[in-house]
Amino acid sequence: MSKPNSTPSAVSAAERDASAAGPAAAAPRPSITDLFLAFAGVSLSGFGGVLAWARRMLVENKRWMTAREFNNLLALCQFLPGPNIVNLCAVFGVRMRGIPGALACLLGLLGPSVVLMIAAGVLYRRFGTLPELHGVLSGLAAAAAGMIIATALKMAEPLIRFRLGPQHAVALATFLTVGVLRLSLPLVLLVVVPVSIGFAWLRSYEK
Amino acid sequence: MRNDADTLTALFLQFAILSFFAVGGGGSAVPEMHRQTVEIAQWLTDRQFSELFAIAQAAPGPNIMFVALLGHFIAGVPGAVVATVAMCGPSCVLAYAVSQVVERFRAARWRIAIQAGLVPVTIGLLAASALIIARAADHDWGGFAITAGTFAFVYWTSLSPLLAFAVAALLGLSGFA
């Protein structure tokens, strides 16, 4: 472990040095094949979302990243649009081995999964109307709905503790326009996102 | 199944545009995917959409691979590949470009404001996804009970959600939902 840094500027300077010299973690830089195989493993073991598995592989098993590097990269990917874990995998791959590295990581993460999905799709087309399978799928779909409600509520927890404010209005307006009124998502976001960021900007002055 | 060039092009454009509007992760794109594929293009029914979504959630791999299953249902194997590339490609390029710049501004006020501003939007979109899937999946009290039970399980315990999925599949098999 590196020595603790006292000021934010010291932290970022240390991290710039670390990223210039390659990964700060102890392990040697992985090859293209290493990257592909490691992410293929993550993809196939990642039941119920792959984020936890990716972290385990990158930080704990292979030590290609430190815990702090992982958190920073994840925060960046959550800040950007698109599937977080896929973005994370691409940026990590570029940092390790350039564009070929990114392609190896993406192919590892997505390739086995695409094959699996095609197999599932073929089975669904052939047997999807069998009453037994229909029952199983109805059960799974009802469970999936419950799981998203739980995820949404877990994310909303910090918001719930706040006193009622513009953030609540933004979340509610997004839900109603997209979920109930079924308006076009790009259209809604073009209005809602600048408003929400504006409120967050004003809030940052209150503290 | 239509794997003609027109369908594949439409699929690519829809998902590529969508990948830039998936705020806070792939899950928030579900309402717009539903709107585009079920309501506008009518490539599949409400019920098929929710069943494919459930299969993707129960399978290993990134949850966003729902787009591969959706693409396959709409346009076969080329559809699966096109949908995956369209959903992941553009946002990866953007992520790389921005990662070169934004890392330096981690503590900047504007960056924190953008991140904080996106949170309530993401929550609203996830709630909309939940409504759409629940509306398609829960036709009776059995379905509602499974949804409520899974919610409680995932929200109040730290056990794997797959346990709830397994129980839900068995209940469905026995004709409960």
Which secondary-structure segment (H or E) carries A137?
A: helix A131-161
In sequence order, what are the residues at sequence separation of 6 or more whose Cβ sits closer than 8 angstroms to the Cβ of residue B4?
B75
Instruction: Report, as an integer, the average pLDDT of A167-178.
Output: 93
Model pLDDT, residue B113: 87
Q: Strand locations in chain B, DSSP E? A: none
Using the beta-carbon criterion (under 8 Å), do B54 and A144 form an inter-chain contact?
A: yes
pLDDT at A73 over 90: no
Most confident of A28-32, A67-71, A127-131, B112-116: A28-32
Determine whether the interchain pair B61/A146 forms a contact, defined as Cβ–Cβ distance below 8 Å: no
CA A106 → CA A88, B70, B126, B175, distances in Å? 10, 20, 25, 40
Answer yes or no: do A147 and B57 touch at CB < 8 A.
yes
CB neighbours (10 Å) of residue A192?
25
> Judged by CB atoms within 8 Å, which residues 2-21 of A form the interface with B?
8, 12
Give just the sign of the alpha carbon dihedral B80, A140, A89, A110.
negative
pLDDT single digits (tens) B59-82: 888 889 999 999 999 999 999 999
- Whether A85 and B62 lie within 8 Å, measured CB to CB: yes
Query: For residue A117, which residues of chain B lie inside 8 Å, CB to CB?
Result: 56, 59, 61, 65, 68-69, 72, 80
A29-33, A188-192, B116-120: least confidently modelled range = B116-120
Q: How many CB atoms lie within 10 A of CB A100?
A: 13
Average pLDDT estimate for B79-98: 93
This model of the complex carries an ipTM of: 0.84
**What is the per-residue pLDDT across A117-164, written as a single tens digit (0 to 9) for each?**
999 999 999 988 888 888 888 899 899 889 888 888 887 887 777 778
User: What pLDDT, in 10s, does the model give residues A6-22?
Assistant: 333 333 444 444 444 44
pLDDT tens-digit map of B24-58 = 777 889 999 999 999 999 999 999 999 999 898 88
Does the structure show a pLDDT above 80 at B3? no
Tally of CB atoms within 10 A around A32: 16
- Kindly give, in sequence order, each residue whose CB lies less than 8 Å from that of residue B74, ignoring residues fewer than 6 positions away: B1, B2, B7, B11, B37, B43, B44, B83
A175: nearest Cα among A79, A167, A85 = A167
B73, closest residue in chain A (CA to CA):
A121
Is it the case that residue A48 has pLDDT exceeding 80?
no
